[in-house]
Structure 1
Amino acid sequence: MAIQSRSKLMWFTFSKRQRQFFTLLVVVILACIIYKAYFHIYSRMLNNVYQWTVSQAARRGKYNSTDGEVAHGEAFSRFPNFSYEDYYDAENSYGQRHGRHDIQSINLQMWQLNKEKSFFDPRLAPINFTIVPNASLCSEVRLVVVVHVRAEDAPSRNYWRNTYGDPDLKNQSNYNILFSIGKPSTLSDQEKIEEEAAECGDILQTDYKDAYRNLTLKHLAELRYLTMACPKNVVVLKMDDDIAWNVQNVSTFIRNNITSEELYCARLDLAPIRNNASKWYATMEEWSEPMYPPYCSGWCYLAPITVVERLISVAHSQRFFWIDDVFITGVLRKAANVSIAKARLNKDIYYYKGRQSATRAAKYSKRGKIFAKRLSNSSMKYHGKLTYV
């Protein structure tokens, strides 16, 4: 009681103006605390609503697609005040949990580069990276080989590491390999991927569900990353995981033919497939025109970073289309006014396609001729190594 009385006495010894000042100071401090807490809760709430929206949309099957493809559309349309900064803060939990400042910085850089853009189709807005490769992956090489592979398919990634990942071969031809993946369907698979990424440093993972109809999201994500991480003189070779290539031929082709203005590939001029039994069936709602714009065969193409920058710079003004070859090398290429320079793949890149059976894969020089064999899935884990002949 004596202490309480003394406190009251001290309070009344202050002048009226001093009491008003201290009262105002306390109010301001409390307001700042409440304001900060509000935005913390707001960001968390948006993150939860975002995840709920994605899961509900996937359960309804409303979009004939998968999680990552619908996330932006519903989350941004339901919450128009959901800014890019909020999205960055809410979604980038992996980097915060694991102390990965490189992930946080690259995500923040990506959002800052895009925050002034108004996306015609919110599904094409940037998606956060959850795993990024070693910073040196493309900073000291001329060629970055981007391999599309399923998130769960670690055997294919190991096959590539055991063949094209040979250190002597990479140093000789000045290239590195990057595996582009989305999120797997199970937490245990995600934990394995995180361990693999920490060990190998060659995985780029983006926060969408890894599925066939999300290949456009995969393709856009990797191109966005490369434009931020790689020097201007780098060339990108995009490949599927069941395609083999001649390292020396590609190096020679880049040295003698590549300019900063063109996309190099096998050009296709095709109409949409309207047979609903086809894997590539496109509805009239998805694509209403009678023809696709000229585009590159999706097996592989070569693109200088300067061309990649032009492609992604027009993504905000386009409508989403799930066939990534058509969208990236057709729709975006046409909008960016990039021309296709035909590359004779069998001669200039020397590839073979085939995934299910043992096939002849890559031919290049090292201690004579080497053939890397693409074995069946069942035997690959035992024999997925170089065969010297």
Structure 2
Amino acid sequence: MILFVSSRPKDAEMRLSIRSTWGATAKTCRIVVVFGFGAVDSDTLQDEIAKEGRVFGDILQFQDIRDSYRNQTRIVLTFYEWARLNCNQTEYVAKADDDTWINLPLVLSSLESIKARSFIAGYWFPPGTSVMRTPEHAQWLSREERLDDYYPAYCSGILYVIPTRMVSAVLNTAATMQIHWIDDAFITGDPPEVPDAGDVITKINKDSARAKKEKKREAIVRYGLTGWLTLPYNQSATSLCRLLLKSTIMHRINSYTKQALYNLSCLQEQHSCRN
């Protein structure tokens, strides 16, 4: 797997926290973690980024795209272009946010259970989420950017995974569409048609009550990964450990909390994919 972590150029501390926690685990799982962003205006910051890249060798900076929140879709699609050229032998291509805790052994185990050749795995939002139209909202879109008032089902950007064979289909479809900047909704909400996938079971966050056999032929499996959009508080140590051991992803985890979770004795089994 090649795992692209969307990062802010100046946030070296968050990148270091990943390298020393679940990023270290990735090395035992045959997963390559890279951190990506666009171009910056500051020469001082660019020098710091260049030095970090030389030291760790895991920085992807796309100089033809200015780094900004509203350029995230273009940045992720440019990573897909890079992956198509450089990662043909990789089984999976994934994108994650840098404030995410990822249980990589459980993620891989979940992916191995998927029988379909074409799928998108992640933490799914159900169809019908409203498009924000108020400019004061952090994720607002104008009608010029997206005409529809509702999103289809789509994955949270905290983590989503596709087979490498689907990268070209995603890029080819994106090239025919008007791009908007909500990258997770754009990339996973309108998945490309991939032939010969057959009938599938749709799973949304492993909620078996909502899983159903599709009546019509569907191209892509939507596979739900267990997780939380924020770390539950007021948990006993035992309850927290149980929760983390069965969750693939946890969102809104800062650098300090990443290290604290990594140091929990009950999570030692998450530190390696090797038996």
User: TM (normalized to structure 2)?
Assistant: 0.73
Structure holding more helix per residue: 1
Structure 1 CA distance, aligned partners of 2:246 and 2:39? 34
Distance 1:198 1:326, change over 3 A: same
Deviation at 1:362, TM superposition (A): 8.7
Find the counterpart in structure 1 of residue 54 from structure 2.
198
2:28 & 2:52 partners in 1: Cα distance? Answer: 25
Q: In the aligned structure 2, how far is the partner of 1:336 from the partner of 1:180?
A: 27
Which protein has greater RCO, CA pairs closer than 8 Å, 6+ apart? Answer: 2
Structure 2 residue aligned with 1:159: 17
Contact 1:361 1:371 in 2 (8 A): no
Q: 5 Å matches for 1:1-389?
A: 143-166=1-24, 169-207=25-63, 208-257=65-114, 259-268=116-125, 269=127, 270-331=129-190, 333-334=191-192, 338-346=219-227, 350-355=248-253, 359=257, 369-370=267-268
- Which whole-Å deviations, capped at 9, do the CAs of 1:4-50 have from their partners, x for residues lacking one? xxxxxxxxxxxxxxxxxxxxxxxxxxxxxxxxxxxxxxxxxxxxxxx
Decide whether the 8 Å contact of 1:295 with 1:326 is kept in 2.
yes
Counterpart-to-counterpart distance in 2, 1:211 and 1:294:
25
In the alignment, the residues of structure 2 paired with residue 148 and residue 237 of structure 1 have an alpha-carbon distance, to the nearest angstrom, of 11
Tell me the distance in 1 between the aligned counterparts of 2:82 and 2:8. 18
Q: Which has the larger radius of gyration?
A: 1
| Residue type of the alignment partner of 2:59 | I
TM-superposed CA distance for 1:173, in Å, is 1.6
State how far apart, in whole Å, the 2-side matches of 1:299 and 1:253 are: 16
- Verify the 8 A CA contact 1:275 1:281 in the aligned structure 2: yes
Report how far residue 348 of structure 1 moved: 6.6
- Output the CA distance in 2 between the equivalents of 1:325 and 1:211: 15
Q: Quick one: structure 1 residues 165 and 284, their matched pair in 2 at CA, closer, same or farther if it must change by over 3 Å?
A: closer
CA contact (8 A) 1:311 1:336 kept: no
Q: Which residue type is aligned with residue 209 of structure 1?
A: R
Is this contact kept in 1: 2:121–2:225, CA < 8 A? no
Is the CA contact 1:245–1:362 (under 8 Å) kept in the aligned structure 2? no
Question: Distance in 1 between the 2:104 and 2:37 partners?
Answer: 23
Q: Secondary structure at the match of 1:278?
A: coil
C-alpha separation in 2, matches of 1:358 and 1:367: 17
- Residues 353 and 341 from structure 1, CA distance in 2 versus in 1: closer, same or farther, beyond 3 angstroms? same
Q: How far apart in 1 are the matches of 2:255 and 2:105?
A: 25
Structure 1: runs of 5+ lacking an equivalent: 1-142, 373-389
- How far, CA to CA, are the matches of 2:268 and 2:158 in structure 1? 22
Report the CA distance between 1:237 and its aligned residue. 2.5
Q: Distance in 2 between matches of 1:147 and 1:202?
A: 10
Supply the distance in 2 between the matched residues of 1:363 and 1:259 (Cα, whole angstroms). Answer: 33
Return the letter of the residue paired with 1:254: L
AA aligned to 1:225 is: W
Letter in 2 for 1:278: H
**Residues 369 and 148 (structure 1), Cα distance of their counterparts in 2 relative to 1, 3 Å cut:** same
- Does the residue aligned with 2:110 lie in a helix, a strand or coil? helix
Equivalent in the alignment of 2:210:
none
Structure 1 residue 236 displacement after superposition: 1.9
Matched residue count: 227
Higher strand share: 2
Report sequence identity in percent. Answer: 25
Aligned to 1:14: none
CA distance in 2, matches of 1:175, 1:365: 21
Unpaired runs of 5+ residues, structure 2, are: 196-218, 228-244, 271-275
RMSD in angstroms over aligned alpha carbons? 2.8
Q: TM-score if structure 1 supplies the norm length?
A: 0.53
